[in-house]
Amino acid sequence: MSSTPIAARHKGFNRAEIVDQNFIEFVQQWQGEVRPTPRDSEAVLPGSALDARGFRELLESQLISRHLDLMARVLRVQNKVFYTIGSSGHEGNAMVARLARHTDPAFLHYRSGGFMAERFRKLPGMDPVMDSALSFAASKDDPASGGRHKVWGSKPLWVLPQTSTIASHLPKALGTAIAIEQARRIGHPLPVPHDSIAICSFGDASSNHATAQTAFNAAAWTAYQKLPAPVLFVCEDNGIGISVKTPGGWVANNFRHRPDLDYFFADGLDLAEGYAQVQRAVEHCRQTRRPTFLHLKTTRIMGHAGTDFEIEWRSIEELVSVEASDPLLRSAAIALESGVYDKEALLALNEALRKRCFMAAEEADRRPRLERLDDVMAPLAPYTPDKVKAEAERTDYQDRRITVFGSEDKLPEKQPPRHLAIQINQALHEVMAKYPETLLFGEDVAQKGGVYTVTKGLHKTFKGSRVFNTLLDETVILGLAQGYANMGMLPLPEIQYLAYFHNACDQIRGEAASLQFFSNDQYRNPLVMRVAALGYQRGFGGHFHNDNSIAALRDIPGLVVGCPSRGDDAATMLRTMLALAKVDGRVCAYLEPIALYMTKDLYEAGDGQWQFTYPAPGEAMPLGEGRVYGEGADDLVVFTFGNGVPMALRSARTIEQELGWKVRVVDLRWLAPLNDAFIAAQAKTARRILVLDEGRKSAGVGEGIITAVVEAGLGGTPLERVVGADTYTPLAGAAFLVLPGDAEVVAAARKLAARH
């Protein structure tokens, strides 16, 4: 390896310039022995598995990646480029791209310029330079994200866009691998070949992240049971995470002997040496269908990003040493030693690619950027109401429906009124009959039928290939859901309690709900997440089983959140949510109020007034549509949802008797997006307004209701809010000290009456 004289002499030089010049000087000063030029099909060096043609193309991909990095550093200061986390030192990942197929779904580390440049070769007519330049420039013409972020992504190349992920993409990569195999078991046609593998790359620092560890554990847990999970985990080990060094040997010692996670090492700094090593890992994963860990040795050249001035925290001697390990210097040596290139030809190639990258960047800078909010948000939450309505009301599956329920006489709409849990169960049977690609899974949902028996009988009806238990890990559950969705299925994951969702929130916030946005609606991962939720459980609970943290869901852009309070609404809402997922690719959260699961009565014991007739096929609840009790009653309008609905109805009877008011109760049903127009229309005729929100005072749904009222110009209407306390929910009877109840609702009405 050549020395780097410029770096040694000039501590204060721009390190990108030094790295660039090092390559040029290395080639110019090279004096090694030249072998006869190999033919395309011959090994580039004796003993290498890499032929001359493959080497030339890999070298070109490496140089494209490098010059995109150099271009970004130069043009960022001119505001022509907006992203400088580079791939320099990681260009060996191009070998993974060459040895895999373009139909192997890929979830990539942000240092994947070499991988992408090489993968672009898989299909004719594609241009890695221009496409990448458009992304760097945040151009509206960027084919990956439409200018919303610098992402490595491509719809035709099956690279699902990732932002600056820190391991959060590993669970869905594993989920995609498992989905490839699951499709065969349920007879679902795959959008990729049946022997595809899922590729997932990440850094050595990210391998320590809890989300990464849960993916590795779940992969091994799956393989331990002899179930296929063809995921190729590619750990690109550059020995450092921003400025924190990875202890020497840590990755190898941590992963080399893990049971049921098959370990391979490859030298990503040396194409001639590393190619066969990468090939063994890829072929092993594809043939054995086992989770495979490829430990790819890399380095990091030019710092973490353009704003990382390593010279401020790293010695010049260390920087020089790192720059001397540049994989492009080794590739240059192979090119010259093998006779594939002479000095002049290699320097000419280098300069031609530099010019190509800068020209593409200048062209990208001239292209339009996103300038309207509507354009920015267009792919975030697509909604085609007419198509969703038609899909939700579609009834052409009646034969399957009759088979599932046993006979026409046993159809749920022909049964007596039932409570919430039974009707959710009936609705789940129905949608699984309607959509053969639907899978239901989570903790305890199969043979047991869930903690509250809501999924009882589904496993027996639809068998273990469609209804199954997972390991106890919400992150994996939601990662699996995204994987199934990526492969064209309709997942119904269950999170056992709302509090457990917080363990895995980023799988929805950072991954599932963002995919349409960052892929410009080219990729979708439709899913309906069922969550047993909210408070008021008696004889059981405490914080983890009485959780009202709906704010954590409502804050996620694009997520649909619905909360039925009665059985018939539960069925029609679920039909619409599945239609939203099927038609528009939406991610939905379906909150099931635990305390209302078995509730039969409303006013007095035995009255049966909280049981309802199951809605006939063809009935569905439009997104945003609420339910109004006491239409036309204007003395007091109560806005609420979930457990608040029967509470408000009971309180309304007392208020009407005591104050002589006519009370209207408005069940919002849909909590995100809130239907501001519906709220305003209901508030417009109200003489008084009461907002009943069983969540906490801070950041609850009630704040959104009041905002909608005020923004509609109705802020002068007398208003009271009844909410929970800003505290965690305690155990047993103490829970009802912090949750609002009937008495608090009546007391709030009295306060309103006292104002006049």
How far apart, in whole angstroms, are the C-alpha atoms of residue 341 and residue 57?
12
| pLDDT for residue 85 | 84
| pLDDT for residue 2 | 43
Q: Is the pLDDT of residue 425 over 70?
A: yes
The kind and range of the H/E element at 263 are strand 262-267
Q: Which of 82-86, 96-100, 223-227, 550-554 is least confident?
A: 82-86
| pLDDT for residue 721 | 96
Distances from the Cα of 586 to the Cα of 49, 384, 440, 512, 653, angstroms: 46, 11, 17, 9, 39
**Region 703-707: what's the mean pLDDT?**
96
Residue 533's beta-bridge partner residues? Answer: 593
How far apart, in whole angstroms, are the C-alpha atoms of residue 331 and residue 487?
37
Q: Is the pLDDT of residue 591 over 80?
A: yes
How far apart, in whole angstroms, are the C-alpha atoms of residue 544 and residue 606?
30
Residue 527's beta-bridge partner residues? Answer: 587
Better pLDDT: 545 or 618: 618
Smallest CA-to-CA distance from 94 within 56, 47, 125, 48 is with 56
**Region 51-64: what's the mean pLDDT?**
97
Q: Is the pLDDT of residue 632 over 90?
A: yes
pLDDT digits (tens, 9 = 90+) for 390-423: 999 999 999 999 999 999 999 999 999 999 999 9
How far apart, in whole angstroms, are the C-alpha atoms of residue 65 and residue 86?
8
Q: How confident is the model at residue 628 (pLDDT cuts 50, 70, 90)?
A: very high
Alpha-helical (H) ranges within 551-628 are: 551-554, 567-584
Q: How confident is the model at residue 164 (pLDDT cuts 50, 70, 90)?
A: low
| pLDDT for residue 5 | 46
pLDDT digits (tens, 9 = 90+) for 638-651: 999 999 999 999 99
Q: Is the pLDDT of residue 6 over 70?
A: no
Q: Is the pLDDT of residue 139 over 90?
A: yes
Q: How confident is the model at residue 581 (pLDDT cuts 50, 70, 90)?
A: very high
- How many helices (DSSP H) and strands (DSSP E) are in the chain? 29, 21
Distances from the Cα of 306 to the Cα of 114, 169, 310, 328, angstroms: 18, 24, 10, 20
Which strand ranges, in their side-by-side order, compose the sheet holding 490-495?
467-469, 438-442, 490-495, 527-533, 587-593, 560-562, 670-672
User: Is 545 among the catalytic positions?
Assistant: yes
How far apart, in whole angstroms, are the C-alpha atoms of residue 534 and residue 531?
9
Asked whether 200 and 258 are in contact (CB, 8 A), the reply is: no
Most confidently modeled range among 4-18, 69-83, 493-507, 669-683: 669-683
| pLDDT for residue 314 | 86
The kind and range of the H/E element at 293 are strand 292-297
Residue 509: alpha-carbon gap to chain centroid: 7
| pLDDT for residue 729 | 84
Three-state SS at 61: helix
Give, to the nearest 10 degrees, the angle between helix 327-338 and helix 271-288.
110
| pLDDT for residue 162 | 85
| pLDDT for residue 163 | 74
The long-range contacts involving 361-364, CB below 8 angstroms and separated by at least 24 positions, are 361/71, 361/75, 361/80, 361/81, 361/133, 361/136, 361/137, 362/80, 363/130, 363/133, 364/80, 364/130, 364/133, 364/134, 364/136, 364/137, 364/139, 364/141
Smallest CA-to-CA distance from 294 within 346, 237, 351 is with 237
Q: Is the pLDDT of residue 170 over 90?
A: yes
pLDDT digits (tens, 9 = 90+) for 494-542: 999 999 999 999 999 999 999 999 999 999 999 999 999 998 887 666 7
**Region 604-610: what's the mean pLDDT?**
96
Q: Is the pLDDT of residue 7 over 60?
A: no
| pLDDT for residue 305 | 78
| pLDDT for residue 165 | 67
Residue 607: alpha-carbon gap to chain centroid: 45
Three-state SS at 71: helix
| pLDDT for residue 498 | 92
| pLDDT for residue 243 | 86
Backbone angles phi, psi at 664, to 5 degrees: -110, 130
Structure-block tokens of residue 604: 């007095």
Average pLDDT, the chain: 94
| pLDDT for residue 9 | 43
Catalytic-role residue among 169, 295, 459, 545: 545
Percent of the chain clearing pLDDT 70 (strictly above): 97
**Region 154-175: what's the mean pLDDT?**
91
| pLDDT for residue 466 | 97
Q: Is the pLDDT of residue 281 over 70?
A: yes
